Structure 1
Amino acid sequence: MQPGRNKGLYHHIRQTGWTYATIAEKVNDLVERATGRRGLYTEESIRRLVNGSVSWPQLRYRNALCRLFDTSTDELGLIDNRTSRNTTAREVDVDRQEFLRGIAVASALAALPRPHTQPDMRRTAPSRPRTVGIEHAQHVNAWAGVFRQADDAGHGLSEGMSAQLHLATQYLEATMTPPVERKMKAAVATLYRVVGWSHYDRGDHATALQDFSEGWRLVSDDGPWWLRTALLTCMARQAIYLDRLDDALDKLGIAAIRADKLSLLRRADIAAVKARAFGQQGNRRECIRAVIEAESLFAEAQGEDHPDLCEEGFGAYYSEKLLASDLAQGLFALSFKRGIELEHTFERLATARSLSDEHARSRLLSTTQLAALHLRFGDVDEGVDLATSVLTDAKGTTSARVVDDLRRIYQLTTTPRIRTCAPVAALRTETKALLSTL
């Protein structure tokens, strides 16, 4: 029987445009880098791989080929004829089908109509496979995307997140090629970040910090810069919330240390978080400087074509309204405490209120702050109307941040300036009643 042409490898070679001789030299370079001894591949060696005469090269050459084309042995069409291929294929297929069934469960959970539903996914979690490929990393990224969308919209899926994170970490123990390992680490780190953010929003700060730290450990050495930045900005946001401002600014400094590797939009995100830190610090000059920097970078980023914008759909995700919500957080601290920059804060909070249901939690947080600002410095009737709408939207919330903002509104209704107003008295009673249920 004549050997079959290796279409996988041939396809990857055609995409690069390299000659067989060039590929052989690059493989030999990678072998030398990994083992200290130069490889012995020639143009004929590559030709024999392509025509199928050799289907399973030695380990050092397999690893080098996987690194060179940044993919797996499966994608390169490399097959070990010495083992029972049918048995292996069945095992891997079962693993993948179980994982796909899990994905279907997550998609259904994300669509649940009741935000406070907390499903138990432990019974549906697939078992750990012995071998994983690129598609497993893609599935972990898909889970992270589903959970992030559900969390942004205010859906409570924390148990499902934890179950899937446990499974994803087990994948790191499976057998995989070096390129797959890099992608898997990035995927699991992304999931750690999403789960950590959910714990942070619920007020479980110790678990959130542990999640963020585990994600950082996976990518801190050679992970993608956009992901390192995303983890650091999440940790910085948490540190700001906990009033650990020096820690937050240190992390933001690390996030921006290689700004040349980041898109302008991600740099705008870093600047927006800086505005939060300086606003909480009471540093008006630096807060305004960071606001201007963020808005300038955002404007400059329009039409930008940078690879990291495709990651997690960030180019479409970080909209002008979401930026306004971010910047309003920093300005709010200045305005509420000192009564300064009120016009700019009112403007940005009003913009953030028009966020879609996909960002329901950010919209709710912006509305509570706008209500608080009106009750303290602005139109009291407007503040009451906004706060009343918040009470409706916040029923059943699991967000500790929203609850903290509701407590602020309640405290404001007791201030001498407005507490005797009939609408304020009614708001105070309704707010107290809601807080007793959360």
Structure 2
Amino acid sequence: MTLKDRRKALGYSQERMATALGVDRTTVGRWDRGETEPQPEYRPKMAALLHVDLLTLDALIRESSGSPEPDAGAPSHDAYGPGEEDMIRREFMRVLAVTGALVALPADEADALAEDAARSDAAGYLRMNEHLWQVYQLARSKHSVRPVVTGQLTTLNEHLADGPSTPAALCAAAGDLFQLAGELAFDRNRYTDAAAAYSLAASASKEARAFDLWACALVRHAYVETASGRYGEAVGLLSVAERVAERGDHSLSTRQWVASVRAEAYAGLGNLRECERALDEAEKVVHLGDHAHNGGWLRFDGSRLAEERGARYAQLGRLDKAEAALDIALTQLALARGQSSRRRGAVLVNLAAIGAKRRDTEQLLTSATEALRLARQSSSGYVVRKLQALQAEIGSIVDDRRVAELGAQIAALSGT
């Protein structure tokens, strides 16, 4: 089915579709004929008009243009050159800043009656946000999701600019979307951009008095600090996140997620006792119900406990404990449906690091080579960062040509 088929099936003429989207009728005609594709900012609203999700919309667009289905086994690459990438990044940050400013504007008391109507609008944004989180988690290349997120932010900007006030429900929708925007930046190793997005997320969530959403924004901000090796600063952020989460919904896993990331920060500081205490607190997530997370801005469900414990013990040099936990994690990932290349890659890098510490060349090469393959396949900045850290571990093993070649491959991957 093409875009034209779907449009006509729902009774939309070209004129009516053009009016709904704010474009010229000839633009819709070019989309029908596959001569051009809808720009990212139009896609969320178009998907809503056609009663499809964004992945289905993409399939309709490809069918209209005659483009082949992407090869699921091939690695994804960004279609932007260096100059255009920087321009898109600046545009992304501009949209973030504008939405953040609009959300922060104080509401007039006289406009409080508009709150009920705004709740209905916000529900639509929250549904789209939920869908975008799902697309982000399933995407082979996380960066490919950014145009659609930018389009959603642009649409939210326009809504906020047209309204006389910013009700709490829309603030919560913005806080949700800012966290996803931060995730996109973080996965690209854009720490400053990620921190800016998470700060806006925390601000919007605070305005909405959405305590769990607010705490999760702070947790994500703490990830930026741990990735930069600023473990003391991360502990400070997580202490605030813990206090905020205490005011939230205790049936959710927010507090356990805070504890999990606090374990990473304490491992970075070399504090085994506090790290293990935090890990034990995080494991209390298994006693919560099936609805302890929402699969979007809160995804901590306990499925990564073995990975987390193994990674923390590896940080602390407790190699036997680390390897046992990581082996369990690999088994769990192999049994899981739709296993994450990003997660498997991270576990393999940790196992490779253990091999390096033991000077077990075969374990190092086997695990790191597979992690390299997954990093190329997923275009994950997270796995690349872990591989970069691995280079410091393998630097002392200079008497093996295969290890030297591995280091060169990591360096080449880091530079792309």
Partner of 2:406: 427
Give 1:365-380 correspondences, 5 Å limit.
365-377=346-358, 379-380=360-361
**Of 257, 260, 267, which residue of structure 2 is paired with 1:269?**
257
The residue number in structure 2 matching 1:106 is: 54
State the partner residue of 2:341: 360
Q: Match of 1:349, as an amino acid? A: L
Aligned residue number for residue 369 of structure 2: 388
Asked if the contact 2:219/2:238 (under 8 Å) is kept, the reply is yes
The answer to whether the aligner puts 1:351 opposite 2:328 as a matched pair is yes
Q: CA deviation at 1:426?
A: 4.6
- Going from structure 1 to structure 2, the CA distance change for 1:275 and 1:313 (only over 3 Å counts) comes to closer
CA, structure 1 residues 170+119, in 2 after alignment: closer, same or farther (shift >3 Å)? farther
- Following superposition, the deviation at residue 433 of structure 1 comes to 4.5
Contact persistence 2:44–2:54 (CA under 8 A): no
**Total equivalences in the alignment:** 326
Counterpart secondary structure, 2:386: helix
Structure of higher RCO (CA pairs closer than 8 Å, 6+ residues apart): 2
2:246 to 259, 280, 283: 259
Q: What code does the residue aligned with 1:173 have?
A: A
Partner in structure 2 of residue 289 of structure 1 = 277
State the partner residue of 1:20.
Answer: none
Q: Which amino acid aligns with 1:318?
A: F
1:321 aligns to what SS in structure 2?
coil
Change (3 A) 1:166 1:412: same
Pairing partner for 1:165 from 136, 153, 176: 153
Structure 2 gap ranges (5+) = 1-15, 23-41, 60-68, 81-87, 92-98, 100-113
Deviations 1:247-305 (A, max 9, x none): 3222211222152633362221111011011011111111111112212x12322x366
Greater Cα radius of gyration, structure 1 or 2:
1
CA distance in 1 between counterparts of 2:258 and 2:234 reads 11
Q: Return the letter of the residue paired with 2:46.
A: R
- The 1:402–1:311 alpha-carbon spacing in structure 2 relative to 1, beyond 3 Å, is closer
CA contact (8 A) 1:275 1:331 kept: no
Relative to its length, the structure with more helix (as a share) is 2
Find the partner of 2:20 among 87, 94, 97. 94
Deviation, 1:312, is 3.5
RMSD of Structure 2 on Structure 1 (CA): 3.7
Give the alignment of 1:26-425 within 5 angstroms. Answer: 94=20, 99-102=44-47, 104=52, 106-108=54-56, 113=72, 116=76, 118=78, 133-153=118-138, 154-155=140-141, 156=143, 157-175=145-163, 181-257=167-243, 258-259=245-246, 261=248, 262-263=250-251, 265-295=253-283, 297-301=284-288, 303=289, 309-310=293-294, 312=296, 314=298, 317-335=299-317, 341-353=318-330, 354-355=332-333, 356=336, 357=338, 359-377=340-358, 379-395=360-376, 398-416=379-397, 419-421=398-400, 423-425=402-404
In the alignment, structure 1 segments of 5+ residues that lack a partner are: 1-89, 123-127, 336-340
* Aligned-partner SS, 2:163: coil
Query: Helix, strand or coil for the counterpart of 1:394?
Result: helix
Change (3 A) 1:250 1:412: closer
User: Could you tell me how far 1:135 is from its partner in structure 2?
Assistant: 4.9
Deviates more, 1:145-154 or 1:247-256: 145-154
How far residue 189 of structure 1 moved from its aligned partner, in angstroms, is 0.9
Residues 347 and 172 from structure 1, CA distance in 2 versus in 1: closer, same or farther, beyond 3 angstroms?
farther
Distance 1:405 1:313 in 2: 23
Moved more, 394-403 or 106-115: 106-115
- Offset of residue 107 of structure 1: 2.3
Give the TM-score normalised by the residue count of structure 1. Answer: 0.64
Query: Secondary structure of 1:227's partner?
Result: helix
AA paired with 1:256?
E
Q: Matches of 1:148 and 1:332 in 2, distance apart?
A: 30
Query: Does structure 1 conserve the Cα–Cα contact (< 8 Å) formed by 2:253 and 2:301?
Result: no
